[in-house]
């Protein structure tokens, strides 16, 4: 487990009931919408390795972040759901993120180089 993942898990542990932790590769637009509509008390979503999230789902996340809401339809019943959430995300690379989505995040880049033990 990487240090950025451990850091995000610590945030989740500290905020407990207000945070939802998701893995980028296993996160979809539909899954995020379901989570938000079924858990209005969740205020923070942490997406670990968001760069592994499929591009079409990144676009859905961007739309939700821009509008602050989304439309949910269940059995011919359509409603607008407010998405008053904060999103934290980790990524191994920003190259696989859509540029519009990337522009919505404050990016902290850390290059950590391990010192050669022989030196």
In this structure, what DSSP letter does residue 108 have? -
pLDDT in tens, 44-55: 888 889 999 999
pLDDT in tens, 17-32: 788 888 888 888 888 8
pLDDT in tens, 66-97: 888 888 777 788 888 888 888 888 888 888 88
- Top-level class of domain 3-102: alpha beta
Report pLDDT for 51. Answer: 92
Report pLDDT for 115. Answer: 52
Q: Using an 8 Å Cβ cutoff, are 87 and 65 in contact?
A: yes
Q: What is the dihedral of CA 11, 14, 16, 19, to 10 degrees?
A: -30
CA atoms within a 13 Å half-sphere pointing along the CA-CB vector of 87: 26
pLDDT above 70 (res 109): no
pLDDT above 50 (res 106): yes
Report pLDDT for 52. Answer: 92
């Amino acid at each position: 487990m990487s240090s950025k993942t451990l850091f995000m898990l610590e945030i989740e542990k500290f905020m407990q009931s207000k945070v939802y932790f998701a893995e980028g590769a296993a996160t979809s637009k539909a899954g995020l919408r379901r989570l938000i509509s079924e858990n209005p008390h969740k205020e923070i979503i942490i997406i670990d390795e968001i760069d592994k999230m499929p591009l079409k789902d990144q676009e859905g996340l961007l739309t939700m972040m821009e509008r602050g809401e989304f439309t949910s339809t269940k059995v011919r019943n359509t409603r607008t759901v407010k998405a008053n959430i904060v999103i934290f995300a980790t990524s191994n690379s920003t190259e696989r993120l859509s540029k519009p989505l990337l522009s919505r995040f404050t990016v902290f880049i850390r290059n950590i180089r391990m010192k050669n033990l022989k030196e």
